[in-house]
Chains A and B, each alone.
Chain A
């Protein structure tokens, strides 16, 4: 177990991405564009929440963009993805349109789940998203079951299972990891665990919530191999993600990655107090903003100029504005919709 201060004051831990993955400049620019879009989307929905246009809970991904962007770059059609309630980027990266996602947050019939789930429960089964879930840790066993089914059905698809550092203290995590380890022996659990360690479960830091803070090493107890990655560095994540995904795909065995990252935004859009962390700490992490890091790399390498960067940002802004307009102009779900989807087999032809 690494000493506490080795554990990433600023994410300086784990694999370094420098040159480790064959990313073309076009590729990188495209991923940069996706991250910029996610950031713009999250900013816009946070605004709409504060204007009272979005209800319920809203948890944004600001600061953690490199993690989902890097891992879902290794997604292959037919794979499955499952995550908790901080799920907007996962839906967007898998191909849902910003309009569909925003409409869901607005509770409209045009939303990803017809306005029935809201921010915490985005599903897009056709594109591989098996859901966002609201109970911390509750989705982890489900993800392991998805993985078993993929092998049982003779595919070479994998599950990318995202979970938070807070979720790792739930019994559900430990029970599910044990199942994954067991089933992995028989090559029946192609599950890639991605621990999004953003340092906090709501207002409680990892140090105050977890007795042994090396989260990757927890998987040792379940015979699941693991590594850590600098989750603020997209290149590092990409290298790790592609390698890990292929390994899981080929072996049918689970594998775990702890991505060291940081939630720059408040836990939820309604939380303002933040007594649990200092402004200085947030500022320090902001200096390693994952989008800024990629932007600098693109500019330094001369693959992209300031003008193009500005264009990308403007495009994202336009796209998100369009999404907001779509959501605002969409209708509410009809009253009959209250009683549909309770049981399968009803109202189906």
Chain B
């Protein structure tokens, strides 16, 4: 059984599912309760579960995230909302120095079953301090899991998995897609981490992405088919740590060409990692260098026209695929 739901509703459904099942699950964050949640993800939950389980916090990211680490060490399962991931830089000390490492430096004596969630990325003219994509930033740290679902079904299924995970999960939501709809399976549809999804089958070139860039790739694939008769495969990585190397390698063995797409900056990023894995594990199958499509190497500009230039576009993805197919000059 499946029902059409928004990405936002799917996330809420997962949290409700687990809060009903497990008393140790609680929510915290700025304006998630009385105000109703800046993005309305937690709307109604304050009334349903009360102020002890839905905690409105002051604007003090490092403080409340650190407190959540403490709760998690005591066996609670907090879900912390970052109003946007941009604000997590203030909490980075607690996330990186404690949440990610305390299990290791306690010799395995404690665990930190903590979910930190919120919208990631940019695209609505919020300019430099409110526009970041943090996947490679957090993906860098052993001890953290990093996931980025793009479909409503995955939003629910991966949230269920995140809440049940005994580690700190960085849950990067496709903030720009909260209102998008899709089929969501009823009940417990937990989606395991570390398994990519083939979002579109194809034979000529593999487009690899995660988060909202997956939709960009799907549109680019349509264009490639219509305009060039090219059959592109699209892989939605879903989870970046753990990372599904096999899915990429298998696809490249079939298509022999790959384009890695990310919204964030190119240097030291996810697309670099994807390209490196392909050259390590599928070098002999490649018919062209792996292409990368990334955001411009600048802080995000405010002006609409500049912002459009700063982020990957459907056209940039299609062109990169054409380059990988030697249909267009580098």
Name A's B-contacting residues (CB within 8 A).
Answer: 55-57, 104, 107-108, 115-118, 120-121, 133-138, 166-167, 169-172, 201-204, 208-210, 273, 275-276, 332-333, 335, 337-339, 342
A333 closest partner in B (C-beta) = B303
Known contacts A115-B306, A117-B302, A137-B59; decide if A203 and B129 are in contact (CB<8 Å).
no
Taking Cβ atoms with an 8 Å cutoff, the residues of B that contact A are: 30-31, 34-36, 38, 56, 58-63, 86-87, 89-90, 124-130, 296-299, 301-306, 309-310
B302/A121 in contact, CB under 8 A? yes
Looking at chain B's contact residues, is the secondary structure mostly helix, strand, loop, or mixed? loop
Determine how close the nearest CB of chain B comes to the CB of A81; give it in whole angstroms.
Answer: 19
Residue numbers in A under 8 Å from B61 (CB-CB)? 170
Q: Which of A57, A209, A339 is B296 in contact with, Cβ under 8 Å?
A: A339
Q: Given that A275-B35, A342-B297 are known contacts, is A116 also in contact with B60, CB under 8 Å in the complex? A: no
Is B31's CB under 8 angstroms from A203's CB?
A: yes
Q: How far is the CA of A167 from the CA of B304 in the complex (A)?
A: 29
Known contacts: A169-B58, A170-B60, A208-B34. The answer to whether A338 contacts B301 by CB under 8 A is yes
- Among residues of A, the one whose C-beta sits closest to the C-beta of B51 is A208
Chain B residue at smallest Cβ distance from A133: B129
Report whether over half of chain A's contact residues are helix, strand or loop; otherwise say mixed.
loop
CB distance from A124 to the nearest CB of B (A): 16
Contact A121 B56 (CB under 8 A): no
Are A333 and B305 touching (Cβ within 8 A)?
A: yes
B299 CB → nearest A CB, Å: 7
Q: Which of B56, B60, B87, B306 contacts A171 (CB 8 A)?
A: B60
Contact of A107 among B60, B86, B302 (CB under 8 A): B302
Find chain A residues with CB under 8 A from B305 CB.
107, 332-333, 335
The 3 A-B pairs at the shortest CB distance, nearest first, are namely A203-B35, A55-B125, A118-B302
Set of chain B residues within 8 Å of A339, measured between Cβ atoms = 296-298
- CB atoms of B306 and A333 under 8 A apart: yes
For A117, list chain B residues within 8 Å (CB): 127-128, 302
Once the chains bind, are B130 and A204 in contact (CB under 8 Å)? no
Verify A338–B302 contact, CB threshold 8 A.
no
Contacts of A104 in B (CB 8 A): 302
**Nearest residue, chain A, Cβ from B36:** A275
Q: Is the CB of B127 within 8 A of A335?
A: no
- Tell me whether B303 and A166 are in contact (CB under 8 A): no
Whole-angstrom CA separation of A275 from B40 in the bound complex = 12
Do residues A56 and B126 form an inter-chain contact, with CB atoms below 8 A?
Answer: yes
Q: How far is the CA of A6 from the CA of B100 in the complex (A)?
A: 45
Interchain CB contact under 8 A, A116 and B34: no
Asked if residues B130 and A275 are in contact (CB atoms below 8 Å), the reply is: no
Pair A107/B304 contact, Cβ less than 8 Å: yes
- Chain A residues closer than 8 Å to B89, beta-carbon distance: 135
Contacts of B296 in A (CB 8 A): 338-339
Q: Quick one: given A134-B129, A204-B34, are A55 and B58 in contact (CB under 8 Å)? A: no
| CB proximity of B118 to chain A, nearest CB, Å | 15
Interfacial chain B residues near A167, Cβ < 8 Å: 59
Residues in chain A near residue B302, CB distance under 8 A? 55-56, 104, 107, 115-118, 121
Contact check, B30 vs A116: say whether CB atoms are below 8 A apart. Answer: no
